[in-house]
Amino acid sequence: MASNIERLIAIMARLRDPERGCPWDLEQTYRTIAPHTIEEAYEVADAIEQDDKAALKEELGDLLFQVVYYTQFSREEGLFDFDDVAGAIADKMIRRHPHVFGADEVRTAEHQTSRWEDHKAAERAAKAADEGRAPSALDGVIAGLPALTRALKLQRRAARVGFDWTEPRDILDKIEEEVRELRAEMDGGAARERIADELGDLLFALVNLARRLDVDPEGALRGTNAKFDRRFRRIEALLAEDGRTPEDATLDEMEEKWRRAKSEEPGRT
C-alpha cells in the first residue's frame, strides 16, 4: 500500500514539474481544485448510495488524488507534505480516542460520541484562546457546508448548550407557524426577499424536526430525490408507449401516470 501511495505522490509531482509536467495541472491552484474536491466527495457518496463497490473504489481514488494535489501545492511552498498530513490526522485520532489508545473507558457508542464532542470543543476553545477571542459553541461550523448540513450542525451545537426544543411535537407547532407566516407573505404580495426569508425559516424548522427524530435531512432528501427521479422517468416511459412526451401531455395526464408509477412500487409512498 505504501508503495502505491508513493507512486501516486510521484505521479502528482511529475504532473506539476515546471519543465516536463502537464500544462493544465501546472495552472491549478488550491482554489481551482477545491470545486473538484467537493464534486469527488459527492461522487463517493453516490457510489455508496448506489451500493456500487466497484465505483466506490474508483471514486475513493479520485478523492485521494485531491489530497495529493493539495499536499503537492504545499510541498512546493515549503509548508507540509502528504506525510505531514497523514501524521497530523493520526495524532488527532489518537488524541480523540483515549479509551482506545489510553487509559480512559467508554462503555457505549453514545458515550463515545459525547466524549468526542467534548474533545473537539476543548480543541476549539484552545484555538479561540490562541486567536485572542472568546469561544463560541458554533465555532468550526463552516459557512461552505451544504445548507441542510450546516443547519443540522448549527442546531446540534446549540442543543449541546441547552438551546433546544423539549419535545419533537413542539417543532411541528413551529413548522405550522412558519407555514402560516410564509402563506401570509405570499398572500400579501411580499417581495421575493421576504418570501425567501420565511421559506428559509421553514426549511430550518424542518431540519430541526429531522434532527430530533434522528433522521439525516440530507439523506432523507436524497432518498426523495431518487424516488422522484425514478417515478418521473417512469412517467416518460409510459407516455412514450403512446408515442408522446411530457411536453405533449397535460398535467392531469402526467398526474395519472405518476399515480400508476407510484402504485407499481409496493410499500412506496
CATH assignment of the domain containing 30:
1.10.287.1080
Spatial contact of 99 and 105, defined as CB atoms under 8 Å apart? yes
Give yes or no: residues 89 and 35 share one domain: yes
Angle at 255 between CA 253 and CA 259, to 5 degrees: 120
Give yes or no: residues 91 and 8 share one domain: yes
Task: Print pLDDT tens along the chain (269 aa).
Answer: 569 999 999 999 999 999 999 999 999 999 999 999 999 999 999 899 889 999 999 999 999 999 999 999 999 999 999 999 999 999 999 988 888 888 787 777 777 777 778 888 888 888 999 999 999 999 989 998 889 999 999 999 999 999 998 888 999 999 999 999 999 999 999 999 999 999 999 999 999 999 999 999 988 998 899 999 999 999 999 999 999 999 999 999 999 999 999 999 877 65
Predicted pLDDT of residue 110: 76
Give yes or no: residues 81 and 113 share one domain: no
The Cα 182–Cα 175 span in angstroms is 10
What's the domain count of the chain? 4
Give yes or no: residues 92 and 18 share one domain: yes
Nine cell digits for residue 78: 515549503
Give yes or no: residues 208 and 223 share one domain: no
Give yes or no: residues 157 and 232 share one domain: no
Predicted pLDDT of residue 212: 94
**In a domain? residue 236:** yes
Give yes or no: residues 10 and 66 share one domain: yes
**In a domain? residue 242:** yes
Predicted pLDDT of residue 16: 97
- What's this model's pTM, rounded to 2 decimal places? 0.71
**In a domain? residue 125:** yes
**In a domain? residue 141:** no
- Range of 104's domain? 98-130
Give yes or no: residues 27 and 71 share one domain: yes
Spatial contact of 205 and 175, defined as CB atoms under 8 Å apart? yes
The Cα 28–Cα 210 span in angstroms is 39
Give yes or no: residues 206 and 151 share one domain: yes
Largest CA distance in the chain: 71
Give yes or no: residues 88 and 10 share one domain: yes
Spatial contact of 99 and 92, defined as CB atoms under 8 Å apart? no
CA dihedral for 13, 17, 20, 24, sign (positive or negative): positive
**In a domain? residue 136:** no
The helix, strand and coil proportions of the chain, stated in percent and rounded to the nearest 5, come to 75, 0, 25
Residue 145: CA count within 13 A, CB half-sphere: 13
Give yes or no: residues 107 and 87 share one domain: no
Nine cell digits for residue 178: 412558519
Predicted pLDDT of residue 193: 95
Predicted pLDDT of residue 122: 87
